């Protein structure tokens, strides 16, 4: 099924050669063919991205490269790294290969580092465990430390001589990922496998890490296998792209060719589903804020929300003097990175968090000094869609029971009425009515998120709060859910507070966008104006950091924004 392959003309053989790899897992529900037939090669100094949605087998492929599969897996075929077949070598030999020939960068830097050892020790651990093997001389602790400092300097940690003795918690998220990369680089492996290296990071930090990976390739000629679902990251970094779908390679091409002329239907669909900043904006053509004639549903004035600090330490201000209004029928997009306070604001409006200062009026009710008893009648006017569709349904109840719950609590209907209304809502979110009898785990992520929307809308609320409703979904599913959300909003006419870290997603839905940074609202405006012509420094940086799914445009943006990013 591999079409439009182009081999870069390099003299040396490939660093990694995967030949007809098959991986099968034994599970309770029978055998799962996670990887069916994958062949690919990585040449020296090349960045190969393996992209695919969840269940495509990309992570399993990556784990096979380092021999990290669990015991329940059986693999066949060949994974050759510098001539040794990882699948069949002895455990001792495999340990030798790991770190020296191939290293891994994990998704979550805060869990990939051991919190009770200094970062220097952790980097040196790899160096020392390989010394003495394979003819290498033993390395003294001092020498290993020197090399650890060197590795930290390589990845751009400032003042590595001091910071080599720091513990992981003393670094920020992006710096931790740099340390993980330093540990991977310590033995100068020819190949790094990076499994979603930037997924857990904020977009501004992601830009820095991508920059670092690019530098490594350019300076040291390290090959990188990049596993990701983010097409923007692929466009920014990859030379060649392998698209996987359900355990098979669907398409393989150089990044430029793939994005410009995808050959396979699946690739085309996947690329079409990726939200592209500046396209398909909900506020397209608007010149002033819409819906201002209607009633104001949410009004925040100088809103402050503090979390009490530990004994002795001051309280943490999650939200700091924020002003905004949300009127009937309007979609307000709230954007910010982690820790910006966007989720806290959403939860405060739903009465899940207490406000500590200023004023927050929700449907005319002052949320400062909230009393559950007096707020409860208003709850039927507020719908909430949670981030993780898997966790927001009680696993013991059917979808129908879950969707009908708000109805049962507020209007006490007969079972027949409840069923009838549930069926209507399921239809509205384009799910078959028969799904009411299923259990949450029997639905896919996208279906669950639609059911979640149905539950939020069953009482016809005036206000809907959606907290990152699509960030746990695959990109093609996200596109469908966003489209549905847009349609339903137009049909039902509710006001919505749409919270997301993804600028492109917010722009597709929101008429009015607010940008949060460290608890402060730094900028508000029409969606396309904020995205196209940002005023605040932070917004500029945020937009500059967001990679677009187009290698040529991304290369141009990179040059253009270099000044902003490093300014």
Partner 1 sequence: MSTTAVIEPAKDPRGPWFRRLPVISHFNKSVGLQRAMLVGGLVLTALFLLTAIFAPLIAPFGFSQISDADGNFPSQQAPGGKHLWGTTVGSYDVFSRVVWGAQTAVLVIIVAVVMSIFIGVILGLVSGYIGGWLDRTLVVIADAIYAFPPLLVAIVMAIAISGGRSSLWGGILAAAISITVVFIPQYFRVIRAETIRLKAEPFVESAKVVGASNIRIMRLHVFKNATRTLPLIFTLNASEAILTLAGLGFLGFGIEPTSAAEWGFDLNKALADTTSGIWWTGVFPGLAIVLTVLGLTLVGESINDLNDPRLRGRKKAVSGKSGPDSTTGAQAALDAEVRSS
Q: Is the CB of 324 or the CB of 384 nearer to partner 1?
A: 384
423 part of the interface to partner 1, by CB under 8 A = no
409 part of the interface to partner 1, by CB under 8 A = yes
Contact of 17 with 225, CB cutoff 8 Å: no
| DSSP conformation letters of 89-152 | S-HHHHHHHHHHTEEEE-S-HHHHS-TTS-HHHHHHHHHHHHTTSTTPPP--HHHHHHHHHHHH
Q: Scanning residues 245 to 284, which ones bind partner 1 (CB under 8 A)?
A: 246
| DSSP conformation letters of 55-67 | TSSHHHHHHHHTT
514 part of the interface to partner 1, by CB under 8 A = no
439 part of the interface to partner 1, by CB under 8 A = yes
CA 540 vs CA 188, 233, 305, 554, 558: distances in Å: 36, 19, 26, 16, 13
CB 509 to partner 1: min, Å: 19
432 part of the interface to partner 1, by CB under 8 A = yes
CA 240 vs CA 98, 246, 261, 336: distances in Å: 24, 20, 14, 32
Count the residues of the shown chain that bind partner 1, applying the rule CB under 8 A. Answer: 65
Longest CA pairwise span in the chain (Å):
79
SS3 16: strand
Q: CA-based Rg of the chain, rounded to a whole angstrom?
A: 26
The span of 4-12, 315-323, 431-439, 528-536 binding partner 1 (CB under 8 A) equals: 431-439
Measured in residues, the chain has a length of: 567
476 part of the interface to partner 1, by CB under 8 A = yes
392 part of the interface to partner 1, by CB under 8 A = yes
The span of 56-64, 112-120, 181-189, 274-282 binding partner 1 (CB under 8 A) equals: 56-64
Question: Of residues 4, 33, 82, 84, which one binds partner 1 by CB under 8 A?
Answer: 33
Dump strand ranges (E) for 311-442: 316-327, 331-335, 357-362, 365-366, 382-385
517 part of the interface to partner 1, by CB under 8 A = no
Question: Of residues 19, 37, 150, 553, which one binds partner 1 by CB under 8 A?
Answer: 37
73 part of the interface to partner 1, by CB under 8 A = yes
CB 379 to partner 1: min, Å: 4
471 part of the interface to partner 1, by CB under 8 A = no
Q: Is the CB of 273 or the CB of 506 nearer to partner 1?
A: 273
The secondary structure of residue 396, as a DSSP letter, is T
Question: Of residues 19, 96, 150, 388, which one binds partner 1 by CB under 8 A?
Answer: 388
Q: Is the CB of 51 or the CB of 210 nearer to partner 1?
A: 51
CA 432 vs CA 172, 356, 422, 429, 446: distances in Å: 46, 44, 11, 9, 14
430 part of the interface to partner 1, by CB under 8 A = yes
CA distance 229 to 206: 14
Q: Is the CB of 441 or the CB of 566 nearer to partner 1?
A: 441
109 part of the interface to partner 1, by CB under 8 A = no
The span of 10-18, 274-282, 425-433, 514-522 binding partner 1 (CB under 8 A) equals: 425-433
Q: Is the CB of 394 or the CB of 535 nearer to partner 1?
A: 394
431 part of the interface to partner 1, by CB under 8 A = yes
Q: Is the CB of 36 or the CB of 520 nearer to partner 1?
A: 36
Burial of 37: CB neighbours in 10 Å, binned 0-12, 13-18, 19+? middle
Question: Of residues 2, 10, 76, 338, which one binds partner 1 by CB under 8 A?
Answer: 76
Q: Report the interhelical angle of 445-457 vs 399-411 (nearest 10°).
A: 10
80 part of the interface to partner 1, by CB under 8 A = no
| DSSP conformation letters of 480-542 | HHHHHHHHHHHHH--EEEEEES-HHHHHHH-SEEEEEETTEEEEEEEHHHHHHS--SHHHHHH
CA distance 45 to 74: 31
φ, ψ dihedrals at 60, nearest 5°: -60, -40
Query: Which x/- pattern over 365-384 shows residues binding partner 1 (rule: CB under 8 A)?
Result: -----------x--xx-x-x
Q: Which residues bind partner 1 (CB under 8 A)?
A: 22, 24-34, 36-37, 54-55, 59-60, 63, 68-70, 72-74, 76, 246, 350-352, 376, 379-380, 382, 384, 386-388, 391-397, 402, 405-406, 409-410, 430-432, 434, 437, 439, 441-442, 444, 446-447, 455, 476-477, 480
């Amino acid at each position: 099924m591999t079409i439009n392959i182009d081999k870069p003309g390099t003299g040396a053989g490939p660093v990694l050669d995967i030949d007809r790899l098959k991986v099968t897992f034994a599970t309770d529900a029978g055998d799962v063919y996670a990887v069916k037939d994958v062949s690919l090669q990585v040449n020296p100094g090349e960045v190969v991205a393996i992209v695919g949605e969840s269940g495509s087998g990309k992570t399993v492929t990556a784990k096979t490269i380092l021999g990290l599969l669990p015991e329940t897996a059986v693999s066949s075929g060949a994974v050759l790294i510098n001539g040794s077949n990882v699948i069949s070598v002895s455990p001792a030999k495999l340990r030798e290969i790991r770190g020296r020939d191939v290293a891994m960068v994990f998704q979550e830097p805060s869990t990939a580092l051991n919190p009770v050892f200094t970062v220097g020790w952790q980097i040196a651990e790899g160096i020392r465990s390989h010394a003495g093997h394979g003819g290498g001389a033993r390395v003294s602790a001092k020498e290993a430390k020197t090399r650890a400092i060197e590795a930290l300097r390589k990845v751009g940690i400032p003042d590595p001589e001091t910071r080599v003795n720091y513990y992981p918690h003393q670094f920020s998220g992006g710096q931790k990922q740099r340390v993980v990369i330093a540990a991977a680089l310590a033995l100068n492996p020819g190949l790094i496998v990076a499994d979603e290296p930037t997924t857990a990071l904020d977009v501004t930090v992601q830009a820095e890490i991508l920059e670092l990976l690019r530098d490594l390739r350019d300076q040291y000629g390290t090959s990188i296998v990049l596993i990701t679902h983010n097409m923007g990251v692929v466009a920014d970094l990859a030379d060649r792209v392998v698209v996987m779908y359900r355990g098979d390679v669907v398409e393989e091409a150089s990044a430029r060719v793939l994005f410009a002329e995808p050959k396979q239907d699946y690739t085309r669909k996947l690329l079409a589903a990726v939200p592209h900043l500046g396209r398909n904006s909900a506020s397209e053509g608007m010149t002033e804020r819409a819906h201002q004639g209607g009633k104001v549903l949410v009004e925040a004035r100088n809103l402050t929300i503090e979390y009490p600090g530990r004994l002795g330490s001051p309280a943490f201000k999650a939200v700091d003097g924020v002003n905004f209004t949300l009127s009937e029928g309007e979609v307000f997009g709230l954007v910010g990175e982690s820790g910006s306070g966007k989720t806290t604001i959403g939860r405060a409006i739903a009465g899940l968090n207490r406000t500590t200062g200023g004023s927050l009026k929700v449907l005319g009710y002052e949320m400062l000094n909230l009393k559950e008893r007096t707020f409860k009648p208003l709850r039927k006017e507020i719908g909430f869609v949670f981030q993780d569709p898997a966790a927001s349904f009680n696993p013991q109840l059917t979808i129908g029971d879950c969707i009908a719950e708000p109805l049962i609590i507020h209007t006490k209907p007969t079972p027949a009425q409840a069923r009838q209304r549930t069926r209507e809502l399921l239809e509205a979110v384009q799910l078959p009515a028969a799904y009411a009898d299923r259990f949450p785990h029997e639905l896919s992520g996208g279906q669950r998120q639609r059911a979640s929307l149905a539950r939020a809308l069953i009482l016809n609320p005036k206000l809907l709060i959606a907290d990152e409703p699509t960030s746990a979904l695959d990109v093609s599913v996200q596109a469908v859910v966003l489209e549905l959300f847009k349609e339903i909003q137009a049909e039902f006419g509710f006001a919505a507070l749409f919270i997301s870290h993804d600028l492109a997603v917010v722009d597709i839905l929101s008429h009015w966008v607010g940008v949060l940074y460290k608890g402060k609202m730094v900028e508000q405006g029409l969606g396309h104006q904020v995205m196209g012509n940002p005023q605040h420094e932070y917004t500029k940086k945020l937009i500059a950091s967001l990679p677009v799914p187009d290698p040529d445009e991304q290369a141009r943006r990179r040059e253009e924004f270099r000044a902003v990013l490093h300014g």
